[in-house]
Amino acid sequence: MSRSMPDWRRLLLTGAAGEIGSVLRPALRGAAPHLRLQDIRPIADLGEGEEAMQGDLAEPGVAEAAMEGVDCVLHLAGIPRETGGTPEQILHANVLGCHAVFEAARKAGVRRLIFASSNHVIGFHPADRPVGTTEPPRPSGLYGASKVWGEALGRLYADKHGIEVACLRIGAFRARPGNARELGGWISHRDMAQLARRCVEAPPFHFLVLYGVSANRRALWGGDEAARAHLGYVPQDDAEAYAAEIEGIAPEPGSVASRFHGGSVCALGFSGDPDRIS
């Protein structure tokens, strides 16, 4: 397979005004002659080659307009966390909006779609063992369940319609890790920017799932070595540099938050029996 870079004319970044999108925007400059920035919020200070579009992707016609003339999409838009919205808002943005994006991409002839999934798709796997990319989904909550839906759409649109799809199970995206759980699941701004650019510039693929994490020596999420190698993603940062500051910031031993990969998100509203979860 050729390692030559794709010749994209126009990239689309949805959720461009968000926490991750704001970091990726400068990292994507130059990856194509045109960069379209889309968000439900206004976007200002456009640079050369950038254009902005505003609207709710789940509303009729918005996703279709955003896809015009686009070759490659990085889809970040949506409710970004479990506590970020009501169940109805998560359904609207992360389920209906996500479907609208995939379907508009199909209709527009988009060749590649990079989907911002989440580590919370595997949140209820026990935290005392590693998790790869082939285990069944066990979402931490409704947000994680919405990302399971997005990954399933990605698989469908890759198999049925030939769109190249990469699903990035993004970890704790912060300038620096904030607690003991993030010693394994953190991704730095620099590594997230590299990962996005690698996804855009990678040679052709069919369907990829990989974890968006830095080179953390305590990482328990993996099994994605082939996908990383294909993309050329080599993270540079390690949360261990902050271990002395944050090791003590951890949930109570034996608590729901301590027992599962999803941490505190698993504990939100929990009313089950953790001993029955294996």
- Active site positions, annotated: 143
Closest CA to 163 of 217, 227, 109: 109
CA 120 to CA 263: how far, in whole Å? 9
CA 141 to CA 121: how far, in whole Å? 9
The b-or-e profile of 177-194 (16+ CB within 10 A means b, else e) is bebbbbbbbbbbbebbbb
Closest CA to 230 of 206, 246, 255: 206
Phi, psi of 13, rounded to the nearest 5 degrees: -115, 110
State the DSSP H helix or E strand holding residue 147, giving kind and residue range, or none if neither.
helix 142-161
Give 69's DSSP letter.
T
Residue type, 254: G
Closest CA to 90 of 40, 146, 168, 39: 146
The b-or-e profile of 9-28 (16+ CB within 10 A means b, else e) is ebbbbbbbbbebbebbbebb
